[in-house]
Chains A and B, each alone.
Chain A
């Protein structure tokens, strides 16, 4: 079975500073990886996904993530955050096919003015 670990439950960062949200996964087979964002009182929005190909994937709102198979990581980065990036970010994994998505516990990003 697959699992996802998000190492930081909360990450405070000053506006315009860079940020990295960490995600590690565990699976005995190939996986497909996602980052979702949840703004307060809203649903889950897909930020980016890794299915295959280039290990650096770019998403919406200036976010990017790098798939590292040897370290089983899929960390999310943004070079300069804005107040509007304050939200909860979920790393997620699926085995493909019709399989379910397994989510990490989430990281709350708090951007400080």
Chain B
């Protein structure tokens, strides 16, 4: 069964450094999402992406964050200058189309900012 994959599974970085989290959505899916889960807290929406542009973003998704679909398969989340509070599990998700509402989640990347 096709699945969403994410790399790396764990990323450790120093405060102020840039990180790029990578996701490969399911191949025929058209909608892409990033969520994060700070330890012990709920899963929070960051951004949705469709047709090569952001369709919605949360207040968490400030100028330090950006997303890109650089080719036909990858979907990336970049954090320009990481802060301690960016430490979280980041989940990528994809959805096939507008009518089917189920989002398929990847296994997550645990980001630790020291």
> Count of B residues near A, CB < 8 Å?
25
B interface footprint on A90-111 (CB within 8 Å = 1, 0 otherwise): 1010101111111111100000
> Count of A residues near B, CB < 8 Å?
24
Q: Main secondary structure on chain A at its contact with chain B?
A: strand
Per the bound structure, the CA–CA distance linking A94 and B98 in Å amounts to 12
Contact, CB under 8 Å: A44 / B48: no
Contact, CB under 8 Å: B43 / A32: no
Per the bound structure, the CA–CA distance linking A101 and B42 in Å amounts to 12
Residues in B82-114 with C-beta less than 8 Å from chain A:
91, 93, 95, 98, 101-108
Task: List 20 extra interface pairs beyond A46-B102, A100-B48, CB under 8 A.
Answer: A32-B101, A36-B105, A43-B105, A43-B108, A44-B91, A46-B104, A51-B101, A90-B42, A94-B101, A98-B50, A98-B55, A98-B56, A101-B33, A101-B35, A101-B45, A101-B103, A103-B35, A103-B43, A105-B41, A106-B43
Point out residues on B near A: beta carbons under 8 Å. Answer: 31, 33, 35, 41-45, 48, 50, 55-56, 58, 91, 93, 95, 98, 101-108
